[in-house]
């Protein structure tokens, strides 16, 4: 089986052993070292490490001190953590449809759903390419909205030279399958000194110093063990990204012209870091998306459906007062993409032979 992803953190062994031998494994100097490195990568003044990507989103919203009824506009085509974080923070969710070319929220659709209760715009940089921040950032500024970027899949991505996570408040995931992983972990990025300070207090049970409580906080801390796993990957992020980009280029060249298959685009001005290589299996393809996924699995090609439904299209979200009037039919592009999207292996550990096999197998089962 050629896996959809590979986790290799062997370079972290020395740092992990260093932390273990120190006897201090909770948040400490290794977390600070990781934060400094991440801030450099993201092009921001501050990086605040937390225990996972969902926490990053929740904390970012909490730090903005939204009031009941305040709205967050986001994408209906995303991992459920985006929605869960907004609900956990007690905000009202508004969705805007996506664009098919970048899988991200459509600025025109956003403009149509903004109300006087809208306080936050939360674009999702999906699969490793940013949303259209050239239109979204000015739109947010025009309406006085805060921007929280769900950059979970986009570490190292950029729009016109500006890094994901630097347009407002950036929220990153460091889960095991991400381009940079600490097994579990997250990061919040910002240039705002006061916000960074508030987030650091919030993540530490509201303490500025031991037993000096300033707010009702939480335990959102990252451990030194987790930070030690991530530091060596940050140091070679450019190398890892270049390998993903080369693999994506090879896949796109090999799959171009496959009947019924739309290959992903790198849009002008954007650097794509290829967390996922996601094709769209159109209605005129020889096999449906689900049939193609099953055929590839049978032939030993790992693949993934990210994501099979619009994010709120599950029983547990129906009739939730914080998700008012959300109907699948109101988001036709997102619904279409959810029915067609299929991700193929693009990780840095693929060999030339692996790439050839993926291309040949996809073309074969689709009758090319």
| Residues tagged active-site | 178
d(C-alpha 222, C-alpha 199), whole Å: 13
Angle between helices 29-42 and 224-235 (to 10 degrees): 40
User: Which tokens in the block code for residue 98?
Assistant: 């996506």
The rounded radius of gyration (Å) of the Cα atoms in the chain is 21
Classify each residue of 75-107 as buried b or exposed e, where b means 16 or more C-beta atoms within 10 Å of its C-beta.
bbbbbebbbebbbbbebbbbbbbbbeebbbbbb
User: Which tokens in the block code for residue 42?
Assistant: 């993201």
The number of CA neighbours under 13 Å toward the Cβ of 177 is: 13
User: Which tokens in the block code for residue 75?
Assistant: 């994408």
| 356, 4 Cβ separation under 8 angstroms | no
Angle between helices 53-63 and 193-203 (to 10 degrees): 120
Count other Cβ atoms within 10 Å, centred on residue 267.
15
């Amino acid at each position: 089986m050629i896996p959809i992803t590979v986790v290799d953190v062997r370079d972290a062994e020395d740092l992990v052993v260093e932390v273990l031998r120190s006897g201090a494994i909770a948040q400490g100097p290794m977390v600070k070292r990781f934060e400094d490195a991440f801030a450099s990568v993201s092009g921001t003044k501050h990086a605040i490490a937390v225990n996972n990507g969902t926490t990053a989103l929740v904390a970012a919203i909490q730090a903005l001190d939204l009031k009941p009824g305040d709205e967050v506009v986001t994408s209906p085509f995303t991992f459920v953590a985006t929605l869960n974080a907004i609900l956990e923070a007690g905000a009202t969710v508004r969705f805007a449809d996506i664009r098919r070319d970048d899988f991200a929220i459509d600025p025109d659709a956003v403009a149509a759903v903004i109300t006087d209760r809208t306080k936050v715009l939360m674009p999702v940089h999906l699969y490793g390419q940013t949303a259209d921040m050239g239109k979204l950032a000015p739109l947010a500024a025009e309406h006085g909205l805060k921007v929280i970027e769900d950059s979970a899949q986009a570490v190292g991505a950029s729009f016109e030279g500006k890094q994901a996570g630097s347009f407002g408040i950036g929220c990153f995931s460091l889960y095991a399958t991400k381009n940079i992983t600490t097994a579990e972990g997250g990061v919040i990025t910002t240039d705002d000194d006061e916000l960074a300070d508030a987030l650091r207090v919030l993540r530490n049970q509201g303490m500025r110093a031991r037993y000096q409580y300033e707010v009702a906080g939480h335990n959102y801390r990252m451990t030194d063990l987790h930070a030690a796993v991530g530091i060596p990957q940050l140091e070679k992020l450019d190398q890892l990204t270049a390998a993903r980009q080369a693999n994506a280029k090879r896949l796109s060249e090999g799959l171009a012209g496959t009947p019924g298959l739309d290959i992903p685009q790198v849009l002008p001005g954007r650097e794509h870091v290829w967390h996922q290589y996601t094709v769209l299996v159109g209605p005129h393809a020889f096999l449906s998306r689900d049939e193609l996924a099953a055929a590839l699995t049978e032939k030993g090609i790992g693949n993934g459906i990210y994501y099979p439904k619009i994010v709120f299209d599950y029983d547990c979200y129906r009739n939730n007062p914080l998700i008012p009037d959300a109907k699948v039919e109101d988001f036709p592009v997102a619904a279409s993409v959810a029915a067609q999207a299929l991700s193929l292996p693009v990780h840095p550990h693929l060999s030339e032979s692996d790439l050839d096999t993926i291309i040949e197998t996809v073309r074969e089962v689709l009758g090319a």
